[in-house]
Amino acid sequence: MTYSKHWQTLYINVNLATMSDGGNSYGEVTQAALAVRDGKIAWLGKESDLPADFSATDSEVVVIDGKGQWLTPGLIDCHTHLVYGGNRANEFEMRLQGRSYQEIANAGGGIVSTVTATRKASEEELLASALPRLAALHQQGVTTVEIKSGYGLDTSNEIKMLKVAGLLADELPVTIKRTFLGAHALPTEYKDNAEGYLDVVCEEMLPQVVNENLADAVDVFCEGIGFSLEQTKRVFDAAQSHNLPIKVHAEQLSNLGASELAANYDALSSDHIEFLDETGIRAMKKAGMTAVLLPGAFYFLRETQLPPIALLRKHQVPMAVATDANPGTSPIHNIHLMLNMACTLFKLTPSEALAGITCHGAKALGMSESKGQLAVGYDADIAVWNIDQPAELCYQFGVNPLSCLIKDGLQVLMHNKK
Ligand code: NIG
Ligand code: FE
């Protein structure tokens, strides 16, 4: 393939996994063509059906022979915490010696230890450490990433994290969605005063985040070691009063009913959900929510409780898949590995797994009208893969089959040139 910087591009001799079938299939179109105009997908279908106005003989159009490769939507990692200071390798060692994630958190480690390191780091240092993490995802075909705050836990440091997340978009051609997660853990200065901390979250942090336009959504860690259902409700009320969509870390280590609560607020997604029950699933379905599966955290914490995949399927709740990249429960910056784990650990079908990081990832971010599918009018965020069939993306990892990455119609990465 040749490198293109043109606004009108026609890809011929390609196969498409359009991901327009909600994960029931890949939405395959073989022997296809796809036309890009002004950063959007202008036409796609069988090459033999190509209309005259997209014809390969039009001199305005740059024609690229895809040589039988596969095109998918650019990948979407809809749940990450990839801006943070320090790392928690010491806690990894402690867990291997038998201490649990909860024990370490209750003893003052866990999220709070990353808070100390994040507060110490300057904006420049946070940006420098986050960039290679984002670059790794981008090299794997990711064109949209969600990044949460939640390691600042005071106003200036939460704002600092969100600003750094925004700055990453100037460094790499990746769409960044930011989520305010002030209610991630109790900072030590508010130990035994959760209500006092939530006053700050709701009455100081959130208004400032909104004023400076630093977040697209609000998230809460609702869990025994996080915030109770009542406390979570307070934050949801505040988010709603600012018209910000809601996401929730829910049912990860126990079932507190956070998914059902989030459904009352028409939340975008409930994430983790290993302990989610059918009542919660029904509520999520009714509210049009997406279930975000995080196999990296399940694996890294050696969890045994599987998320209720069969029930999610039964109630047709869309399942997204994400890395949850973070220093405590998923220091894994590999979206291909998530595809593999979603299949091997959670028994998703390969087309469901791929939907999890395309159309359903977009839905979890409220972007299902513009991203996550190859469809006319959608953003031309497209990954080109040197593979024979889409299931290969889930089947192997470690050799990167990405051949080319297109963002808003422009080729921004080329490797494994075919
Ligand atoms: O998604 N569950 C809460 N938050 C993160 C973990 C954060 C951490 O341990 O640093 C998660 O798993
Ligand atoms: Fe998370």
* Strand, coil or helix: 126: helix
pLDDT value of residue 405: 97
Residue 96 Cα to ligand 1 middle (Å): 18
Closest atom of ligand 1 to 114 CA is 10
Calculate the average pLDDT of the chain: 95
Task: Return d(Cα 155, Cα 209) in angstroms, integer.
Answer: 9
Q: Is the pLDDT of residue 5 over 60?
A: no
CA of 249 to the centre of ligand 2 (A): 6
pLDDT above 70 (res 121): yes
CA dihedral 155, 225, 347, 373 (to 10 degrees): -20
Question: Of ligand 1's atoms, which has the minimum distance to the CA of residue 226?
Answer: 3
Alpha helices in 42-201 (DSSP H): 89-96, 101-106, 111-120, 123-139, 155-171, 194-200
Q: Which of 76-90, 99-113, 177-191, 243-257 has the lowest mean pLDDT?
A: 99-113
Ligand 1 within 6 A of CB of 327: yes
> b or e along 378-412 (b: 16 or more beta carbons within 10 Å of the residue's beta carbon)?
bbbbbbbbbbeebbebbeebeeebbbbbbbbbbbb
Query: Using one digit for the tens of pLDDT, what is the confidence trace for 7-50?
Result: 689 999 999 999 999 989 999 999 999 999 999 999 999 999 99
- Distance from C-alpha of 290 to C-alpha of 271, rounded to nearest angstrom: 8
Phi, psi for residue 35 in degrees, rounded to 5: -110, 140
pLDDT band at 61 (very low <50, low <70, confident <90, very high): confident
* Contacting residues for 94 by C-beta, under 8 A, at least 6 apart: 104, 109
Note the pLDDT of residue 60: 72
Do the Cβ atoms of 310 and 354 come closer than 8 Å? no
Residues with Cβ within 8 Å of 80's Cβ and at least 6 positions away in sequence, in order, are 145, 146, 147, 148, 322, 323, 324, 325, 326
> What is the distance in A from the centroid of ligand 2 to the CA of 396?
25
Percent of the chain with pLDDT over 70: 96
pLDDT of 138 above 50 = yes
| DSSP H or E run through 234 | helix 229-241
The residue with tokens 């921004």 is 412
Distance 293 CA to ligand 1 centre (A): 13
Q: Is 323 in the pocket of ligand 1 (CB under 6 A)?
A: no
Q: Does the predicted TM-score (pTM) go above 0.85? A: yes
* Cβ atoms within 10 Å, residue 253: 19
113 lines ligand 1 (CB under 6 A): no
Residue with CA at minimum distance from ligand 1 atom 1: 324
Topology of the domain comprising 9-73+374-414: Urease, subunit C; domain 1 (2.30.40)
Ligand 1 pocket residue status of 249, Cβ below 6 Å: yes
Spell out the residues 6+ positions from residue 234 whose beta carbon is closer than 8 angstroms to its own: 198, 202
Helix (H, G, I), strand (E, B) or coil at 45: strand
What's the rounded mean pLDDT across residues 176-191? 97
Beta bridge partners, 218, equal 180, 246
Across the range 229-258, mean pLDDT stands at 97
Domain 75-365: which CATH class? alpha beta
pLDDT at position 415: 82
Separation of alpha carbons 160 and 156, rounded Å: 6
Ligand 1 in contact with 296 (CB < 6 A)? Answer: no
- Indicate if the pLDDT at residue 322 is higher than 90: yes
Residue nearest to ligand 1 atom 9, measured at CA:
328
Q: Which of 3-12, 77-86, 224-233, 364-373 has the lowest mean pLDDT?
A: 3-12
For the chain, how many helices (H) and strands (E)? Answer: 16, 16
| Vertex 383 angle, CA 300 and 369, to 5° | 90
**Cα(326) to centroid of ligand 1, in Å?**
7
Q: Whose CA is closest to 246, among 228, 258, 230?
A: 258
Residue 119 has pLDDT above 70, yes or no: yes
Probe ligand 1: pick from 92, 106, 151, 184, max atoms within 8 Å of CB?
A: 184
Contact present, 153 and 191 (Cβ < 8 Å): no
Task: Assess whether the C-beta atom of 328 lies below 6 angstroms from ligand 1.
Answer: yes
**Ligand 1 centroid vs 240 CA: distance in angstroms?**
23
> Residues 270-276: contacts with CB within 8 Å, 24+ apart?
271/79, 271/219, 271/247, 271/322, 271/324, 271/364, 272/297, 272/307, 272/324, 273/307, 273/308, 274/298, 274/303, 274/305, 274/306, 274/307, 275/251, 275/305, 276/250, 276/251, 276/307, 276/308
Task: Kindly indicate the confidence band of residue 3, based on its pLDDT and cuts at 50, 70 and 90.
Answer: very low
Q: Is the CB of 297 under 6 A from ligand 1?
A: yes
Binding-site entries for 4-imidazolone-5-propanoate: 88, 151, 184, 252, 329
> What are 152-170's pLDDT values in tens digits?
999 999 999 999 999 999 9
* Contact between residue 392 and residue 401 where contact means Cβ atoms under 8 Å apart: yes
Task: Give tens-digit pLDDT for 375-416.
Answer: 999 999 999 999 999 999 999 989 999 999 999 999 998 886
Domain boundaries, given as residue ranges, for the chain: 9-73+374-414, 75-365
